[in-house]
A and B are shown apart, each in its own frame.
Chain A
Amino acid sequence: YGGALKAAILIQQWFRRYMARLEIRRRYTWSIFQSIEYAGEQDQLQVSSIVLLFFTVLSLPDLISHVLDPNNDFMNEEAKLAKYEKIEVPDSYAGPRLSFPLTVVHTNALLSGFKQQQTLHPRYVLQLLHETKKFLKHMPNIIHLSTTYTRQITVCGDLHGKLDDLLLIFYKNGLPSDENPYLFNGDFVDRGKKSMEIIIILFAFLLVYPNNMHLNRGNHEDYIMNLRYGFTKEVMQKYKTHGREILQLLQDVFSFLPIATIIDNKVLIVHGGISDFTDLDVLASIERHKFKSALRLPKLNTDDSPDKGKKRVQFFSQCIGVGGLNKIQTTFQSNGFLPSSNNCSSFHTKQCKPCYSKEKDVMTTGDEHHPPSQTLFNPSAILEVPFLDSGINFVAEEPIREELEWKQIVDLLWSDPKNQNGCIPNSFRGGGCYFGPDVTLRLLKKYNLQLLIRSHECKQDGYELCHDGKVITIFSASNYYEEGSNRGAYIKLGPDLVPRFFQYQVSKYTRRLTIQQSVTAAEGSALKSLREKLYAHKTDLIAAFKDCDKNNTGRISTSDWASAVESVLHLDLPWRTLRSRLVKLGPDGNVDYLSCFEDLQIERSIKEVTPCLMETLYRYRTDLEIIFNIIDKDHSGLISIEEFRQTWKLFSSHLHIPIDDEAIDDLARSIDYNKDGSIDFNEFLEAFRVVHKLDSKEN
């Protein structure tokens, strides 16, 4: 018997160690996904805003006027509707057919149609969006709901185009109806491949059950985000002829989505979070539809003022701030777009005190809350760029109030909670704040609330509580990073306002994966992404490694390796724990630092491009893609050689890559595969896809 007891303990002890190691792998897999995701977001917002400004100032309205002034099209609403009604739906079309007003017959048809992989005909899409916009226009910014008439409200978080998750929720929890109200807390689109289907379903239910179906706006209900995170692409692929019109209409629809919901005057629900600046009264009064994107763009205006010769562009960006402004100035000067010594002072930032502050600890300018290095996020930094003789008309002043209103909204849609007290700018995301438990308490107390429900962050279990239970994060896209990475969840809230959580996970396997299988799958994917990151910074990394390897042995200590990697990548990951998965060890226990690049190669090389440039292109692939997409007004996938050259010039000066005009021309010509003066930029970007050699060996 003693033997059996000992045997049992041995097995249990060994198994628990095994599970612990799985848990560590799961954790760092998670850290990898999150840090890469946030690093990408931060990069993207920074680069895009600089780029857009550059284009606005230099390339003049033509290039991106359609972005600056999206509603060039002056048809009124009735005329548009009539136009949609004229779109013919062929008899051969087998998908769902809609007629208005919508009924439950239509929502059922949509659900079953989408389950069978059908696509809704563009005419119905346009009509649906039109009706949705009409409906949303009458909604207030903050919706007030009550649980007294219904038993429970179901609150769902981010879906990000994962239709399977939505269908699973409906399966487990029932379809929306007057007896079964739902609130979806933003981020319906981007990343997943069925964003269109999700919003069609959500909007349809919105029209059928206007009192019991509610939607909050998320930070991805934003056309600039959509350019980067896949929704624009999805729409253009599914709707080649009408895609652009659908996207235009969606911009409006998104901007009319309510930004917050309050249940029973006690529970506040917003997509991102709050800041110590959040003022629900101001929020209730804003004209929310003016804010189409978190990324503010300058407005173009015909201005008849007498002082035409000396106009100024005002450009607000929470992401640029003082550091960014200086960068732009240098870029412009080095390109000859601005004289280096200015009679008219080229840039100055005007810092304004918010004039509404009620409490002392509301953000002021540049001091207690924002030490100089952090004025990057000063909401009131205004860039003014005077032009002496441009002959271009730009708008004059924008009221400060609008800037503050914009910040109210961005804080609501972009902020994240943190565990320490205080409120600091959210440097990871480049927008919104990190808010601590004190900020939550203060806000809840101020408005006599008891709970804040938000989404915006992926959580392994689908939900997470923080701030002593006063803040709940709810996230409804399971397997967000990778198959097996996390569960999704939803909350049911009854009149007692005690949240009940329900979790689920979509699986493409019929048998439930063991923890070990799902961890291994997710880990594989995370490590792949991480290796690509390493590869993208190869030159800088090798330089850092060689610094520690004076004798050129090809090996350095683990310690040195970890410090070097962190100093180049800035990802704050447990490099020692990850080491064995990323590099080979020599017999003396030291790291063979070149081994982490062995497995990867860039698929097709363009001979005009040096390896270093190749690497840079690979790193900024996504940003280039965004810019190309912005320039490509008709979303054809093609841009002209001239446009390509301009983009290239901007990029190379922004990134300080020395490349002369001739080299650019060579590059452009070599990419113009069919010699017709236009470049298929998707093909161009494909050239920078990194291949993992092990994968291709397996294939």
Chain B
Amino acid sequence: MAEEREIAEAMISEIHKKITDAFDVFDHEYNKTVDVREIGTIIRSLGCCPSEGELHDILAEIEDEEPTGYINFDRFLPTMTKVLMERRYRPIPEDVLLQAFEVLDQEKKGYLMPEQLTKFMSEEGEPFTQEEMEEMLSAAVDPDKNVILYKDYVTMMAVEAP
């Protein structure tokens, strides 16, 4: 029993250190606060894949009653620890992602036109900014055929992530 607890404590301790590391990367003033706009990046870098809506929920938990534009580490740590321990917001597996693209490809052509994807990503769901759209297109569009071979794209992106 005691051993189990030791292991659990060690695990929590490791999680705490991981969170601290990621937090520190954005703590520019070395005072244990980060700009609220960076929280999404921090959470995602820890392996979570929340939607914008889910991100909002997390922020509601950790922000001060009167938002200052900064998030304190003391409030971030417990919430984030829970998120990691409960394995919330896990990233979607590659095949589910592929299915999502296939939903857009109603004619089952095996590819999407850039305009199609742009319209969809910029208007539906939690729309992309222009910058996000450009970045996706620059990597996804096959320069010769000017289409998005989404199966290849998904595979390539999956390989990239360390």
Chain A partners chain B: yes
Residues in A lying within 8 Å of B, measured CB to CB: 3-21, 23-24, 27-28, 31, 419-420, 512, 514-516, 558-559, 562, 574-577, 580-581
**Contact in complex: B100, A7 (CB < 8 Å):** yes
Chain A residues whose C-beta falls within 8 Å of the C-beta of B18 in the assembled complex: 576
CB distance from B125 to the nearest CB of A (A): 3
**Contact in complex: B51, A13 (CB < 8 Å):** yes
**Contact in complex: A4, B103 (CB < 8 Å):** yes
**Contact in complex: B51, A17 (CB < 8 Å):** no
Main SS of chain B's interface residues?
Answer: helix
**Contact in complex: B139, A9 (CB < 8 Å):** no
Chain A residues whose C-beta falls within 8 Å of the C-beta of B104 in the assembled complex: 4, 7-8
CB distance from A364 to the nearest CB of B (A): 26
Among candidates B41, B49, B136, B157, residue contacting A13 with C-beta atoms closer than 8 Å:
B49
- Nearest-CB residue, chain B, relative to A515: B135
Contact with A along B109-131 (1 / 0, CB 8 A): 00000000000110011111000
Which stretch in B24-32, B62-70, B75-83 binds the other chain?
B24-32
Chain B residues whose C-beta falls within 8 Å of the C-beta of A580 in the assembled complex: 162
**Contact in complex: A17, B44 (CB < 8 Å):** yes
Chain B residues whose C-beta falls within 8 Å of the C-beta of A28 in the assembled complex: 25
Among candidates A6, A8, A20, A581, residue contacting B45 with C-beta atoms closer than 8 Å:
A20
B1 at the interface (CB under 8 A from A): no
Among candidates A3, A420, A577, residue contacting B25 with C-beta atoms closer than 8 Å:
A577
Q: Which residues of B49-77 have CB atoms within 8 Å of chain A's CB atoms?
A: 49-52
**Contact in complex: B125, A576 (CB < 8 Å):** no
CB distance from B76 to the nearest CB of A (A): 16
Docked Cα-Cα span, A580 to B157, in Å, equals 18
CB distance from B138 to the nearest CB of A (A): 5
CB distance from A144 to the nearest CB of B (A): 34
CB distance from A396 to the nearest CB of B (A): 46
**Contact in complex: A14, B49 (CB < 8 Å):** yes
30 pairs, A vs B, C-beta closer than 8 Å: A4-B120, A6-B100, A8-B104, A8-B121, A8-B125, A9-B126, A10-B92, A10-B100, A11-B97, A12-B51, A12-B52, A12-B121, A12-B128, A13-B50, A13-B92, A15-B132, A16-B44, A19-B132, A21-B161, A23-B41, A24-B25, A24-B41, A420-B31, A514-B135, A559-B17, A574-B25, A576-B18, A577-B21, A577-B22, A577-B45
Chain B residues whose C-beta falls within 8 Å of the C-beta of A14 in the assembled complex: 49, 91-92, 97
- Nearest-CB residue, chain B, relative to A9: B125
Most buried by B among A8, A21, A28, A419: A8
Chain A residues whose C-beta falls within 8 Å of the C-beta of B24 in the assembled complex: 574
**Contact in complex: A9, B51 (CB < 8 Å):** yes
Q: Which residues of B130-159 have CB atoms within 8 Å of chain A's CB atoms?
A: 132, 135-136, 138-139, 157
Chain A residues whose C-beta falls within 8 Å of the C-beta of B107 in the assembled complex: none
**Contact in complex: B124, A574 (CB < 8 Å):** no
CB distance from B6 to the nearest CB of A (A): 13
CB distance from B22 to the nearest CB of A (A): 6
Chain B residues whose C-beta falls within 8 Å of the C-beta of A5 in the assembled complex: 124-125
Chain B residues whose C-beta falls within 8 Å of the C-beta of A16 in the assembled complex: 40, 44, 52, 132
Among candidates B22, B43, B52, B100, residue contacting A574 with C-beta atoms closer than 8 Å:
B22
Docked Cα-Cα span, A10 to B160, in Å, equals 19
* A-B CB pair tally, cutoff 8 Å: 121
B9 at the interface (CB under 8 A from A): no
Chain A residues whose C-beta falls within 8 Å of the C-beta of B43 in the assembled complex: 20
**Contact in complex: A559, B132 (CB < 8 Å):** no
Chain B residues whose C-beta falls within 8 Å of the C-beta of A20 in the assembled complex: 40-45
B12 at the interface (CB under 8 A from A): no
B35 at the interface (CB under 8 A from A): no
**Contact in complex: B40, A24 (CB < 8 Å):** no
**Contact in complex: B92, A576 (CB < 8 Å):** no
**Contact in complex: A21, B136 (CB < 8 Å):** no
Docked Cα-Cα span, A27 to B23, in Å, equals 12
Docked Cα-Cα span, A640 to B117, in Å, equals 69
Chain B residues whose C-beta falls within 8 Å of the C-beta of A562 in the assembled complex: 17
**Contact in complex: B138, A512 (CB < 8 Å):** yes
CB distance from B98 to the nearest CB of A (A): 10
- Nearest-CB residue, chain B, relative to A419: B29
Docked Cα-Cα span, A514 to B139, in Å, equals 7
Given A4-B124, A18-B161, A574-B24, does the pair A10, B14 have CB atoms closer than 8 Å? no
Among candidates A19, A514, A559, residue contacting B14 with C-beta atoms closer than 8 Å:
A559
**Contact in complex: A24, B49 (CB < 8 Å):** no
Docked Cα-Cα span, A23 to B124, in Å, equals 25
Among candidates B22, B48, B96, B132, residue contacting A10 with C-beta atoms closer than 8 Å:
B96
Among candidates A7, A24, A514, residue contacting B103 with C-beta atoms closer than 8 Å:
A7
The 6 closest A-B pairs by CB, nearest first: A8-B125, A20-B44, A7-B103, A7-B100, A8-B124, A24-B45
Docked Cα-Cα span, A669 to B22, in Å, equals 52
Docked Cα-Cα span, A6 to B53, in Å, equals 13
Docked Cα-Cα span, A28 to B162, in Å, equals 14
Chain B residues whose C-beta falls within 8 Å of the C-beta of A420 in the assembled complex: 29-31
CB distance from B5 to the nearest CB of A (A): 18
CB distance from B126 to the nearest CB of A (A): 5
CB distance from B118 to the nearest CB of A (A): 12
**Contact in complex: B101, A7 (CB < 8 Å):** yes
Chain B residues whose C-beta falls within 8 Å of the C-beta of A31 in the assembled complex: 25
**Contact in complex: B44, A11 (CB < 8 Å):** no
**Contact in complex: B160, A516 (CB < 8 Å):** yes
Given A17-B49, A514-B138, A559-B17, does the pair A12, B22 have CB atoms closer than 8 Å? no
Chain A residues whose C-beta falls within 8 Å of the C-beta of B28 in the assembled complex: 419
Chain B residues whose C-beta falls within 8 Å of the C-beta of A24 in the assembled complex: 22, 25, 41, 45
Chain B residues whose C-beta falls within 8 Å of the C-beta of A21 in the assembled complex: 44-45, 161
CB distance from A529 to the nearest CB of B (A): 18
Chain A residues whose C-beta falls within 8 Å of the C-beta of B126 in the assembled complex: 8-9, 12-13
- Nearest-CB residue, chain A, relative to B106: A4
**Contact in complex: B100, A11 (CB < 8 Å):** yes
- Nearest-CB residue, chain A, relative to B54: A13
Docked Cα-Cα span, A581 to B161, in Å, equals 12
Chain A residues whose C-beta falls within 8 Å of the C-beta of B121 in the assembled complex: 8, 11-12
Docked Cα-Cα span, A12 to B120, in Å, equals 10
Chain A residues whose C-beta falls within 8 Å of the C-beta of B48 in the assembled complex: 17
CB distance from B83 to the nearest CB of A (A): 14
Chain A residues whose C-beta falls within 8 Å of the C-beta of B42 in the assembled complex: 20
CB distance from A410 to the nearest CB of B (A): 25
CB distance from A110 to the nearest CB of B (A): 37
CB distance from A482 to the nearest CB of B (A): 18
CB distance from A244 to the nearest CB of B (A): 45
**Contact in complex: B51, A15 (CB < 8 Å):** no
- Nearest-CB residue, chain B, relative to A23: B41
**Contact in complex: A17, B91 (CB < 8 Å):** yes
- Nearest-CB residue, chain B, relative to A580: B162
